[in-house]
Amino acid sequence: MTQPATSSFSDLSVETQTRRFNPAWIEFALAVGAFGVGAGEFASMGILPNVAQGLGITEPQAGHMISAYALGVVVGAPVIAVISAKMARRTLLLWLMVVFALGNAASALAGNYPSLVGFRFLAGLPHGAYFGVAFLVAAGMAEPNRRAQAVGRVMLGITLATLVGSPVATWLGQALGWRLAFTAVAAIGALTALLIWIFLPLDKIQAGASPLRELGGLKRKQVWLTLAIPAIGLGGMFAVYSYIASTLTQLSGFSPAFVPVALVLFGIGMNVGNVVGSRLADKALMPTIGGMLVWVIAVMALYWLTASNPWMVSLCIFLIGCNFAICPAVQTRLMDVAGDAQTLAAALNHSAFNIANALGAWLGGVAIAAGFGWASTGWVGAVLAAGGLAVFLVSWAQERADKSDMNSEPVAAV
């Protein structure tokens, strides 16, 4: 049986019980943080040549800062979730944003390649834990049938970062120096910490909270199955995104100047998918996850078949961005299956997305290197989505079997 996530917001400390708080402002504060984290992650890719030139290193060496950040996300999400089990969520969010701001400020001041890699790792550590806790707080303030929409409103920070934040940060880095891009991201982190301090109430530490209780969530089969859905099923989105520039210029016939336009189309699709997907998830959570995986298979297959057509590939890029619709649903599902290990499960979801990123980019590169062509990332994505759908069906079948077993248990005679 799954239970809705509990709210830390409803368990206010004695000092804050008499104060009134506006959930809309809290969601805004959390979304600003999501915007900053998203902008910082994606902008690193856009200013890669500038960083390489500025530090006198090769671009592959500069690319290690992206890998270091991703490693920080994967390591930081579970570790921070476990060691902070006895910390109030408001306090944790404040510290996470402070570390994020400091990591980016230090990145801006990095004098050499090793220090930059280290500081990017530091900046990545709060990433997964911040999103996990932010989504829990947002869902906890919402009505039970509107939790996914609350999660989606915080996720708007991520989707808007891909549409606006990352391009602006990239432009700043290219026009005024890469150090300014990291400085701007650090400023957003500091602003988020201020907004959280102003708008988010101090909550009580949950009774019985402990690192062992959080780790106990790893014993739940449904947690692992739910994490595997995006880790496998969304790999294709990253396979396409990783090689989109080369596909458009070498296969679809576009000039390099069209690549930013394509990225805007992708960002618009992410925003549309986030809004629509969160509403669908609140109406029917499991059908939304399953239906979206079928959608991903279809869109990826269409991309593979039509990538050489300029009009169709443009439409497909928008539709692939819409695949983000599954994200609020999966995040909400994790809250339902995690039991009393909410923070760890929610944070691990972002480790799962980074696995999808690495898996998709790697398999897409393998297909291209094997001679299947730039469009082959589409069928790679379709296969991965089919794998995610298979995991989803196992998860759903297992849940239905568990419910059936519970209903069939004999009632003890009184």
Which spans in 177-220 are helix H? 178-199, 211-215
Q: What pLDDT, on the 0 to 100 scale, is given for residue 169?
A: 74
- Say if 1-209 and 216-406 have the same CATH topology: yes
Output the pLDDT for position 322.
93
**In the chain, pLDDT over 90 holds for what percent of residues?**
36
Contact 78, 351 (CB under 8 A): yes
Question: What does DSSP assign to residue 11?
Answer: S
Q: Report pLDDT digits (tens) over 273-285.
A: 999 999 999 999 8
The predicted structure's pLDDT at residue 7: 45
Cα 357 to the center of its chain, rounded Å:
10
378 backbone dihedrals φ, ψ, rounded to 5°: -65, -50
Residue-level pLDDT at 226: 92
pTM for this predicted structure: 0.78
Kind plus residue range of the DSSP H or E element containing 265: helix 259-283
> Once rounded to an integer, what is the mean pLDDT over residues 233-242?
84
Q: Over range 289-303, report the average pLDDT.
A: 95
How is residue 162 annotated by DSSP?
I
310-321 and 285-306 are packed helices; what angle lies between their axes, rounded to 10 degrees?
A: 160
The domain 1-209: what is its CATH number?
1.20.1250.20
Residue 32's pLDDT band (boundaries 50, 70, 90)?
very high
Q: Residue 216: what pLDDT?
A: 64
Give the CB-side neighbour count of residue 203, counting CA atoms within 13 A.
27
Query: Are residues 384 and 363 in contact, defined by beta-carbon separation less than 8 angstroms?
Result: yes
At how many degrees (to 10) do helices 342-369 and 221-233 cross?
30
Q: Report helix, strand or coil for 388.
A: helix
Rounded Cα gap, residues 377 and 301, in angstroms: 10
Interval 103-121 mean pLDDT: 92
Q: What secondary structure, in 3-state letters, does 269-307 show?
A: HHHHHHHHHHHHHHHCHHHHHHHHHHHHHHHHHHHHHHC
Q: How many residues does the chain have?
A: 414
* Assigned architecture for domain 216-406: Up-down Bundle (1.20)
Please give the pLDDT value at position 140.
83
Average pLDDT over the chain reads: 83
Domain ranges of the chain: 1-209, 216-406
pLDDT at 14: 41
